[in-house]
């Protein structure tokens, strides 16, 4: 079953703008991860945030986690055309499961 | 370089035919996974394996079968019982253990019906 749901489903912006994607999940988690998928390729892991963390940075990526609202956001700052891809969140439920549950993804298009 | 290799990249299946998708990893990961991805959809888990000679059904295992005879290899067979096999299939691997490790993905196999 899908636990993570991303919002919006699609996002179109101009190069240089910031892109924000949101993810909601249903049960308590150990951690939440964000992945990127270029068209016709596999997923690539971007960043992991643990349940006891509120914010994490990696280069132009900033991830926040609000466990009280069961939601996370991924911010890409100063976007580039090369950031065009689909972005997925994957939540790992607490209780020892190592199987992640992926959302449906946000399709991001960055226009040059 | 370590990674996951899926083959073939494109595969066509005839009516009533079984086809096998290959997945090989040299990351020394214990856990391996198969996902199905339909257009505009997230990933749905077909099968997963924590260790050699052991595997479990995921959310949509009907019409699929797997084997795990070697740590490096986790082939997926799409049987004739799978009536709607057209999809993008992704294989992944990870370190197995508590705490949920990131998954590493291959570049997928796109399966279509002839």
Per residue in B93-106, pLDDT (tens digit) is 998 765 578 899 99
Which residues neighbour B99 within 8 Å (Cβ) at sequence distance 6 or greater? A30, A31, A98
Percent share of chain B, pLDDT over 70: 96
Query: How much is the pLDDT for B114?
Result: 83
Q: How far is B91 from chain A (nearest CA, A)?
A: 8
Cβ of B61 under 8 Å from any chain A Cβ? no
Cβ of B39 under 8 Å from any chain A Cβ? no
Residues of chain A with pLDDT under 50: 1-2
Query: How much is the pLDDT for A2?
Result: 44
Ramachandran bin of B12, using left for φ above 0, alpha for ψ from -120 to 50, beta for the remaining angles: beta
Q: Report CA A7 to chain centroid distance, whole Å.
A: 10
What does each C-alpha distance from B12 to A43, B37, B67, B111 come to in angstroms? 23, 16, 21, 6
Cβ of B27 under 8 Å from any chain A Cβ? no
Could you tell me how many CB contacts below 8 A there are between chain A and chain B?
62
- Indicate yes or no: CB of B105 within 8 angstroms of CB of A43: yes
Q: Report CA B63 to chain centroid distance, whole Å.
A: 13
Q: How far is A106 from chain B (nearest CA, A)?
A: 9
Cβ of A44 under 8 Å from any chain B Cβ? yes
Query: How much is the pLDDT for A1?
Result: 38
| Structural contact between residues A46 and A35, judged by C-beta atoms closer than 8 angstroms | yes
Q: Is residue B17's pLDDT more than 60?
A: yes
Query: How much is the pLDDT for A75?
Result: 98
Query: How much is the pLDDT for A3?
Result: 53
Query: How much is the pLDDT for B99?
Result: 57
Tell me the pLDDT band of B15, cut-offs 50, 70 and 90.
confident
Query: How much is the pLDDT for A60?
Result: 98
- Indicate yes or no: CB of A45 within 8 angstroms of CB of B104: yes
Cβ of A102 under 8 Å from any chain B Cβ? yes
Query: How much is the pLDDT for A62?
Result: 98
Q: Mind listing the pLDDT tens digit for each residue in A56-80?
A: 999 999 999 999 999 999 999 999 9
User: Residue B27's CB: how many other CB atoms inside 10 A?
Assistant: 14
Q: Report CA A45 to chain centroid distance, whole Å.
A: 10
**CA separation for the pair B53, A64 (Å, rounded):** 39
Cβ of A100 under 8 Å from any chain B Cβ? yes
Question: Who among B94, B102, B107 is closest to A42 (CB)?
Answer: B107
Q: Mind listing the pLDDT tens digit for each residue in B34-82?
A: 999 998 788 999 999 999 999 999 999 999 999 999 999 999 999 999 9
């Amino acid at each position: 079953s899908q636990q993570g749901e991303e919002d919006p489903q699609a996002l179109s912006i101009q190069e240089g703008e910031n892109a924000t994607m949101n993810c909601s999940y249903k049960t308590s988690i150990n951690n939440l991860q964000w992945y990127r998928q270029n068209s016709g390729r596999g997923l690539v892991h971007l960043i992991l945030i643990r349940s006891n963390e509120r914010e994490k940075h990696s280069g132009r990526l900033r991830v926040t986690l609000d466990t009280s609202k069961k939601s996370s956001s991924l911010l890409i700052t100063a976007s580039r055309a090369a950031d065009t891809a689909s972005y997925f969140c994957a939540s790992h439920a607490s209780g020892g499961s190592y199987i992640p549950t992926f959302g449906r993804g946000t399709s991001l298009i960055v226009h040059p | 370089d370590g990674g996951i290799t899926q083959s073939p990249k494109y595969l066509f299946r005839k009516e009533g035919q079984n086809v096998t998708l290959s997945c090989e990893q040299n990351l020394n990961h214990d856990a391996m996974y198969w996902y199905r991805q339909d257009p505009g959809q997230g990933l749905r888990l077909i099968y997963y394996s924590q260790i050699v000679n052991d595997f479990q059904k995921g959310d949509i295992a009907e019409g699929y079968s797997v084997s795990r005879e070697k740590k490096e290899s986790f082939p997926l067979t799409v049987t004739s019982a799978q009536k709607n096999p057209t999809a993008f299939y992704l294989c992944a691997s990870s370190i197995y253990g508590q705490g949920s490790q990131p998954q590493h993905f291959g570049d997928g196999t796109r399966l279509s019906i002839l």
